[in-house]
Amino acid sequence: MKPSRIIDTHQHVFWHGRDDRGLIADMDEHGIDCAWLLTWEIAPGEDDVQYHGVLNPVHRRDDGTHRGIPLEDLLRARDAFPGRFVLGYCPHPLARSPEKLLEAAVEMYGIRVCGEWKCRLPFDDPRCLELFRAAGAMNLPVVLHLDVPYLPDAEGKPVYQPNWYGGTVHNLERALQACPETVFMGHAPGFWREISGDADASPDVYPDGPVVPGGRLYRLFEAYPNLRADLSAASALRALARDHRHAIDFLVRFRERLFFGRDYYGGDLNAFLQGLELDRETVACLFHRNAERLFAHP
């Protein structure tokens, strides 16, 4: 079923070779009415050169590291294309007074989302919790990127993953418990691998094969009403594509907690979801209604 309206709740600008005009052209091509634009603040110690080729080169620091996706790029896009974007912003938790930076961004620029949080810190680090609580007090949903710090090898031995963010699903659960008034939106491979009960045993960043009962996402959604998730990037799509029958059951069961998002360009997720022949209510929830329940959109 084709949605009547599409809100992309996870998007970036001036990256992967496209400027703001390129993003708008892609949104128009794929019927996206509005997109949440999210920042990504990269601390110098978290810089990874593999991302340099997809980020805006003007934000390279003098020491060779990259700033990421700063707020000024989002403001430039919003001013050039009024009515098409909702802005997100997440200061790095190690910045001085990140809560005050977030509050100033809300007051000056109308920020509506705290995101993207993508830092090499555990979610339940006290400095992160203070930022999450501040976001909750301002009614800002927090978009979280989770990549686990260890994956097992073929013999089950844990292998360190240098590009980890947030820790594990257990760190996420402690943050959910510590910040019950804050709405969290899970995202990325470390989050979506938990759709299946074999997450601890899979050596792959993107596990495949049949979904095994006992995935921790079920328990987290049932236990924590402040947990949501966006369906963006390859991580959600690959998790759902493991088993189409399971995907339908999962999407229907948690339809009021899941949000359409892309984190890139193209129509792969849209095509996949429409191919599942979901019911009208589920389609509306995923593509626009859940986002509209959080706040008004252009």
Instruction: Please state, in angstroms and as integers, the Cα–Cα distance from residue 203 to each residue in 144, 166, 199, 208, 239, following that order.
Output: 22, 19, 9, 11, 15
For residue 224, the 8-state DSSP code is: -
Asked whether residue 246 is domain-assigned, the answer is yes
Q: Which two tokens mark 206? A: 């993107």
Q: Which two tokens mark 261? A: 């998002």
Residues 49-63 pLDDT 10s? 999 999 999 999 999
Asked whether residue 2 is domain-assigned, the answer is no
Residue 1: pLDDT band by 50, 70, 90 thresholds?
confident
Residues 167-212 pLDDT 10s? 999 999 999 999 999 999 999 999 999 999 999 999 999 999 999 9
Residues 255-268 pLDDT 10s? 999 999 999 999 99
Asked whether residue 1 is domain-assigned, the answer is no
Asked whether residue 285 is domain-assigned, the answer is yes
Q: What percent of the chain has pLDDT over 90?
A: 99
Asked whether residue 135 is domain-assigned, the answer is yes
Model confidence at 145: pLDDT above 90: yes
pTM above threshold 0.95: yes
CATH number assigned to the domain comprising residue 283: 3.20.20.140
Asked whether residue 118 is domain-assigned, the answer is yes
What are the phi and psi torsion angles at 194 (to 5°)? -80, 5
Q: What does the alpha-carbon distance between residue 257 and residue 290 come to, in Å, rounded to a whole number?
A: 7
Asked whether residue 226 is domain-assigned, the answer is yes
Mean pLDDT for all residues in the chain: 97
244-248 mean pLDDT: 97
Residues 270-282 pLDDT 10s? 999 999 989 999 9
44-51 mean pLDDT: 95
Q: Residue 219's domain spans which residues?
A: 7-294
Q: What does the alpha-carbon distance between residue 258 and residue 199 come to, in Å, rounded to a whole number?
A: 20
Q: What is the radius of gyration, based on Cα positions, of the chain?
A: 18
Structural domains of the chain, count: 1
227-235 mean pLDDT: 97
Asked whether residue 12 is domain-assigned, the answer is yes
Give the closest residue to 118 by CA, choosing from 164, 150, 162: 164
